[in-house]
Chains A and B, each alone.
Chain A
Amino acid sequence: METIVWAEPVTYINHRHSVASWLLTYDHKRIGILYLIVVTAAFFLGGLMATLIRLELATPSGDLLSADVYNRLFTMHGVTMVFFVLVPAVPAVLGNFVMPLMIGAKDVAFPKLNLLSWYIFTIGFIFTIVSMVLGGVDTGWTFYTPYSTQGSESHVLITGIGVFITGFSSILTGLNFMVTIHRMRAPGLTWFRLPLFIWALYATSLVMVLGTPVIAITLLMLVLERGLHLGIFDPRLGGDPVLFQHLFWFYSHPAVYIMILPPMGVISEVIACFSRKNVFGYSFVAFSSLAIAVFGFLVWAHHLFVAGISPYSALIFSFLSFAVAIPSAVKTFNWTATLYEGAIWWKTPMFFVFGFLGLFLIGGLTGLFLASLGLDVHLTDTYFVVAHFHYIMVGGAIMGYFAGLHYWWPKMTGRMYNDTLGKFAALLIFVGFNLTFGPQFILGYLGMPRRYHVYPPEFQVLNVLSSAGASILAVGYVLPALYFLYSLKFGEEAGANPWKATGLEWTTQSPPLPENFRTTPVVTEGAYSYSKREMKVA
């Protein structure tokens, strides 16, 4: 460490250069970057489809796109964003890159399996792209039967198989993360010294491993039903179309927690760093992640309140849906309390955290409206639902992903991006987001159904507001792509720890060594021991 090295230091980026060295890498950091590339491509593809949807909805008549094209666009937007952006964004991109660094490990437990996960994911994505090129799928991302098995004339089989394949990537990543967190923590890194991001990833991995096989089986049944007409979901053959909805949501509701738990973990990391404090109520935040993961499996039928389930079972699912809201509320209160008497450093990642808190708050609270049986009858299948889940999944999950990306970018690339532009992007996204999705709550209560290509003219004012907001949002999302790319070549050198953060990932160089650490670190204190540190300019 005392020797002065004049040559450029060896990093995971520059130690090998060939394309093959990237495509055949077992290095969790390189695999994280590979995921980043595919997820970013999927994000802009899904965003492009959203742009076309909002353009079409600027007028009540169907003047830009035909009904069939519109239906395919919102379906592919949903499929792309859910399965290829929201589910993998934080765990597969950020989790892969920083999780082993954060626990002081050289890699994940099964590096080859990790690379296989990326290939499975990418093959699944290619299937989806192929179905798009062939003409797309028009069932909605929910694939409800009997439309998906008998009604639709679009490429349900290819998309279904694509999503089925992608599921295995989730299962393997979840398995890999669980084993890594159990077995590969650095000496002294006990469970209650773990960063909360690791707790969140652990809870997410549980859901991935237990939930994803159910969607895989469900999609397989769908494919068999469509291909061979077995009659599982066909009432004329004694099947039940509502059975599909139970099976679908048994995964797809917990999947919401796959999307939101890891960003919640990111928020804990960033808020601690930029408040220079412990996360308030560490163990409550950690256990609330596990509580959400477990209770998240018991609320699926709240998507079915008007689908023909018994009113008494609706009663139970409504109650459990209220119950699952409590751990999320606990987290929000703890994050707020963390700010109290902090030393709050206003940097870009913290701006994204402020944005997350505001949007997640609205998303979470509007979930209570939908958990309320008497309101859900009127609100379900309207734009209120569309607004609610975008507040959670885009306002919450994507905002958290961006917070994490801005927080760990200097670690991943060794470069700083422009902080002013970063803050400006966070502000644009926050304002644009609220303008896009805020009016949709009102539209929903007015009764505008979702998935409508044309709509009655009295809904136009709010739709125009929404489309205007979407254009601001689009600028907000393109901006980070530009300054991130710019920073790669022209950004300031970040140094090992530009945020003066605690956490093992900040003790190694940026970008990290291929093997992460020269010597395995030994941990002697809990995460976020800011108050014991002397903060000096790096």
Chain B
Amino acid sequence: MFSGFSLFPAQASSLAPEIDNLYLGVITITGFFAVLVVVCITYFAIKYRDPTGDKVGAPITGSVPLELGWSLIPFFIAIGIFVWAAVVFFHIVRAPDQTLDIYSTGKRWMWRFQHIDGQIEINELHVPVGRAVRVVFTSEDVLHDLFIPAFRVKADAVPGRYSAIWFEPTKVGEYHLFCAEYCGTRHSGMIGTVYVMEQADYQAWLGGGATAGGSLLQRGEALFTQLACVTCHLPDGTGRGPSLEGLYGSQVTLDNGAVVTADESYLRESILLSQAKTVKGYERLMPTFQGLINEDGVAALIEYIKSLQPTGNRVASAR
């Protein structure tokens, strides 16, 4: 019962110390106020005790300076905590530019991970130490939530859209991976292990892993031809659909005038729900590919689109 017992979780990502400091900071501040109030209540309750119930308290009704003091001082302290926590939050949600991307799908009751090189894992995730990793994921059925306590990150997996978490592991080891959003019968069985490996061990693992049909990029390229995307999305922009070269990460103007960033979520939506957003200057001709392509296929296509550079050079993204 006591094996592995601890009061504090393992600190295994570059973000974890920052979040733990915030935690200890808020404990200190709130602890001070808790002790202050409890000491006052206990002291007053004992000092002013009247066992008879016959006496009357002092005729005090209030004090405006005190009210202002104990409204404003906590308010400014609260703003301080708010700003501190918001800064940490933006470190959590903003991934660095260069990340090792991994695609994932949650479905009842398992996590499936797909590496760029084509390896697929279920309920296990192998990542190298000291490298910023970004997991882009969605759900195939209900809500799930990818939670790795040792890294202090989590995000909901929502069907119909991509979510992402990023982390830079700092310690080799094995860590829990939980589903943190209730998803039905075996919700508590939707757990797995994150293996943080030395760079060399990770390379060895990559070499030994199963690669179903080549790297994501290769599979994406094959799908791009197979699904006939290439007939409309001509590289020079003369096709019925816009050119996809240099699209990833660029700003796209839509037919309603809105400007969106072409990130993974935008690409995913444009493939599956092609009518949702149309690029300015093009007609709504693209058929929907929902039901014709699975999540693995979408991820492969996205990786291929990411690799399309304006010069015509293809580079594997995020390597």
Which listed residue (B57, B182, B186) contacts A144, Cβ 8 A?
B182
Enumerate chain A residues within 8 angstroms of B311, measured Cβ to Cβ: none
The reply to whether A311 and B50 contact each other, CB–CB distance below 8 Å, is no
B interface SS class: mixed
The reply to whether A537 and B54 contact each other, CB–CB distance below 8 Å, is yes
In the complex, whether B319 has a CB less than 8 A from a CB of chain A is: no
Q: A146 to nearest B CB, angstroms?
A: 5
Enumerate chain B residues within 8 angstroms of A147, measured Cβ to Cβ: 142-143, 182-184
The reply to whether A374 and B22 contact each other, CB–CB distance below 8 Å, is yes
In the complex, whether A221 has a CB less than 8 A from a CB of chain B is: no
CB-CB contacts below 8 Å: A499-534 with B: 499-500, 530-531, 533
CB-CB contacts below 8 Å: A404-462 with B: 442, 445-447, 449-458, 460-461
* Per-residue interface assignment for chain B, residues 163 to 181, with 1 indicating a CB less than 8 Å from any chain A CB and 0 otherwise: 1000000000000101111
In the complex, whether B85 has a CB less than 8 A from a CB of chain A is: yes
* Per-residue interface assignment for chain A, residues 308 to 321, with 1 indicating a CB less than 8 Å from any chain B CB and 0 otherwise: 10010011001100
CB-CB contacts below 8 Å: B10-36 with A: 18-19, 22-23, 26, 30, 33-34
Q: B177 to nearest A CB, angstroms?
A: 10
Bound complex: CA of A369 vs CA of B178, how far in Å? 21
Bound complex: CA of A140 vs CA of B184, how far in Å? 9
The reply to whether A535 and B55 contact each other, CB–CB distance below 8 Å, is yes
The reply to whether B153 and A377 contact each other, CB–CB distance below 8 Å, is yes
The reply to whether A150 and B85 contact each other, CB–CB distance below 8 Å, is no
Enumerate chain A residues within 8 angstroms of B142, measured Cβ to Cβ: 144, 146-147, 150-151
In the complex, whether B3 has a CB less than 8 A from a CB of chain A is: yes
Bound complex: CA of A140 vs CA of B3, how far in Å? 31
CB-CB contacts below 8 Å: A309-350 with B: 311, 314-315, 318-319, 322-323, 325-326, 329-330, 332-334, 336-337, 339-347
> Which residue of chain A lies nearest to B143 when distances are taken between CB atoms in the complex?
A144
The reply to whether B90 and A311 contact each other, CB–CB distance below 8 Å, is yes
The reply to whether B44 and A368 contact each other, CB–CB distance below 8 Å, is no
The reply to whether B89 and A533 contact each other, CB–CB distance below 8 Å, is no
A and B contact pairs by CB, cutoff 8 A, 21 listed: A144-B143, A147-B143, A150-B141, A277-B58, A280-B63, A315-B89, A322-B78, A326-B75, A333-B70, A339-B48, A365-B30, A368-B78, A372-B82, A449-B180, A450-B182, A457-B3, A458-B5, A460-B1, A461-B1, A499-B53, A531-B56
Apart from A147-B183, A307-B156, what 12 extra A-B contacts exist at CB < 8 Å?
A: A71-B185, A284-B67, A322-B82, A323-B75, A341-B57, A343-B48, A365-B30, A374-B84, A374-B87, A375-B26, A382-B180, A537-B54
Q: Which residues of B contact A (CB under 8 A)?
A: 1-9, 18-19, 22-23, 26, 30, 33-34, 37-38, 40-41, 44-45, 48-63, 66-67, 70-71, 74-75, 78-79, 81-82, 84-93, 108, 141-143, 145, 147, 149-150, 152-156, 158-161, 163, 176, 178-189, 191, 273, 276, 290
7 closest residue pairs by CB, A with B:
A235-B160, A447-B149, A374-B88, A372-B85, A277-B57, A458-B4, A373-B89
